[in-house]
Amino acid sequence: MAQFAVPSAFILIGLIVGFALEKFIDRQIKLVSVETEAEEQPLTVKIILLHSLNNLAFTWFLLAGCFAAHLSSSLKSDASHVIETILIIIALLSITIFLARLSSSFVTLFGQKSQVVSASLISNLVKFIVYILGLLIILQTVGVEITPILTTLGVGGLALALAVQDTLSNLFAGLYLIISQQLRTEDYVKLETGQEGHVIDINWRSTTIKDIYNNIIVIPNSKLSSVIFTNYHLPVKELVLSIDIGVSYTNNLEHVERVTLAVATEVMQEIAPELTINEPFIRYHTLGDYSINLTVFMRLNEFLDRRLAKHIFIKKLHEKYQAEKIEIPNPSRDIYIKEGLDKLQTMSI
C-alpha cells in the first residue's frame, strides 16, 4: 500500500487544484456573461480565454497529477508505456480542443471588429482545420504513419466531392460572399424577391437574415450569390431619403419651398442631428394634371430610419401646410356633357 501512497497523493492534489481552478473559471464566466448581457459588450480577450479554458483546466491539472503519479510509480515497462501513451493522447486532445476554441473565438472577434469575416463560416472552418491537424499529430505521436492516410483521404475526397456537390457549392458561395465583402454580418439587405432584413450569420450552408418582424429567413448561399440584392450598408450606412409631394397650382412655390425645407430640417434634427450639416433640399420636377410635383431629399443614418422619418415628416408637413394655407390638391376632372344640339353642361369631379 505504501508504494501507492505517493502516486495517489499526486492524483489527489491534481484533482483538488483542478476542481478549485474550474470553479473559479465558472464564476468568472458567469460574472462576465452578466456584464456582457447588461451592457451588450462584444467579445473580449478575457471572455475568449475563459471560455477556451472552460472544463479544460481541470483536465490539465488532473493529467499533471497522473503524470507525476506515473513517474513516481514502479510499474512494469509495458504497462508504463500504455499508461504514458494514453496520457499523451488525452493531453494532445485537450490542447487541440483549447487551440480550436481559441482560434475560432479570435476569428469571431476579428469579424466583429472588421465586419468582414462571418462569425460562423470562417470560425467553424478554422476550428475544423485545427481539429484535423491535432488528429494528425496524435496519430503521428502514437506511431501511426499518416502519409497513407493523407493519400487515402485525397482519393476519397474526390469521390466525396462528387457526392456532396450542393453542399460544396453552398460552402464556396458563402466564402465568395465574405471574401468579396459584398455581404457582412449586421448588414441590412433587400432581395429582388422582396425579403429584407439584417444579416445574422453566414454558415457553411446558408445565410440567415432576420426581418423587422423578428422572423428568420434562411437562404442557401448558392442562391444568394446568384440573386440580385441591395445592401443598404454599403459603401456606408448613411443614405438619402426622398419623399414625393404634390402642391396646388395656386400656391407660391418659393413659399412652399421655404416651409417644406424648414420641416425637413426639423425632422433631421430629431432623427439624425449629426447629419444636419448636409442640409435637406427639394426639386420641382413635374407639372401634373392637377398639381405641381416636387421631391424632398434628406440624409439619414441608416435604412431603418426611413420609416420613422417619413412618419414624422408627413405629420409635421401636413400640420405646417394647414397653418401656412398651402394647398395639397385632390385629383379632379372637368367633364362636359352635351345635351341636345346647343346645350353644354359642365360637371367637375
- Three-state SS for the chain is CHHHHHHHHHHHHHHHHHHHHHHHHHHHHHHHHHHHHHHCCCCCHHHHHHHHHCCCHHHHHHHHHHHHHHHHCCCCHHHHHHHHHHHHHHHHHHHHHHHHHHHHHHHHHHHHHHCCCCCCHHHHHHHHHHHHHHHHHHHHHCCCCCHHHHHHHHHHHHHHHHHCHHHHHHHHHHHHHHHCCCCCCCCEEEECCCCEEEEEEECCCEEEEECCCCCEEEEEHHHHCCCCEEECCCCCCCEEEEEEEEECCCCCHHHHHHHHHHHHHHHHHHHCHHHCCCCCEEEEEEECCCCEEEEEEEEECCCCHHHHHHHHHHHHHHHHHHHCCCCCCCCCCEEEEEECCCEEEEEEC
- Spatial distance between the Cα atoms of 29 and 22, rounded to a whole number of angstroms: 10
pLDDT, position 152: 65
Which sign does the torsion angle of CA 172, 176, 177, 179 carry? positive
Domain check: are 115 and 177 in the same one?
no
Domain check: are 204 and 253 in the same one?
no
Domain check: are 243 and 227 in the same one?
no
Task: Examine residue 165 and state whether it is found in any structural domain, yes or no.
Answer: no
Task: Examine residue 291 and state whether it is found in any structural domain, yes or no.
Answer: yes
| Host domain of residue 97 | 2-155
Domain check: are 105 and 244 in the same one?
no
Domain check: are 33 and 81 in the same one?
yes
Which set of grid coordinates corresponds to residue 105? 473565438
Task: Examine residue 92 and state whether it is found in any structural domain, yes or no.
Answer: yes
Q: What type of residue is 72?
A: S
Pairing of strands 229-231, 343-348: unpaired
Q: Is the separation of the CB atoms in 330 and 248 below 8 Å?
A: no
Domain closes at, from 185, 207, 231: 231
Task: Examine residue 31 and state whether it is found in any structural domain, yes or no.
Answer: yes
Total Cβ atoms within 10 A of residue 4: 12
Domain closes at, from 196, 231, 266: 231
Domain check: are 183 and 223 in the same one?
yes
pLDDT, position 222: 85
pLDDT, position 272: 85
**pLDDT tens, position by position, 68-119:** 887 777 666 667 777 888 888 888 888 898 888 888 888 777 766 665 555 5
Question: Where residue 307 sits, what CATH number does that domain have?
Answer: 3.30.70.100
Domain check: are 72 and 142 in the same one?
yes
pLDDT, mean of each 10-residue run, the chain (349 residues): 69 84 82 59 72 83 82 70 82 89 80 60 81 84 71 60 67 80 84 87 86 88 86 85 91 92 91 84 90 92 88 92 88 64 50
Which sign does the torsion angle of CA 257, 263, 267, 273 carry? positive
Task: Examine residue 346 and state whether it is found in any structural domain, yes or no.
Answer: no
Question: Where residue 189 sits, what CATH number does that domain have?
Answer: 2.30.30.60
Residue in 199, 191, 194 with CA at minimum distance from that of residue 216: 199
Domain check: are 33 and 83 in the same one?
yes
Domain check: are 259 and 202 in the same one?
no
Q: Is the separation of the CB atoms in 268 and 281 below 8 Å?
A: no
Domain check: are 93 and 221 in the same one?
no
pLDDT, position 4: 66
Domain closes at, from 231, 254, 271: 231
Which set of grid coordinates corresponds to residue 244? 414625393
What phi, psi does 109 have (nearest 5°)? Answer: -60, -45
Task: Examine residue 340 and state whether it is found in any structural domain, yes or no.
Answer: no
pLDDT, position 341: 47
pLDDT, position 320: 92
Domain check: are 93 and 188 in the same one?
no
pLDDT, position 158: 56
- Spatial distance between the Cα atoms of 74 and 266, rounded to a whole number of angstroms: 86
Number of domains forming the structure of the chain:
3
SS (H, E, C) 112-147: HHHCCCCCCHHHHHHHHHHHHHHHHHHHHHCCCCCH
Task: Examine residue 336 and state whether it is found in any structural domain, yes or no.
Answer: no
Alpha carbon 325 to its chain centroid, in Å, reads 49
Task: Examine residue 164 and state whether it is found in any structural domain, yes or no.
Answer: no
Q: Is the separation of the CB atoms in 149 and 139 below 8 Å?
A: yes
pLDDT, position 38: 45
Q: What is the pTM of this model?
A: 0.59
Radius of gyration of the chain measured on its C-alpha atoms: 34
Domain check: are 186 and 220 in the same one?
yes
- Helix 165-179, helix 121-141: angle, nearest 10: 120
Residue in 243, 240, 279, 262 with CA at minimum distance from that of residue 326: 262
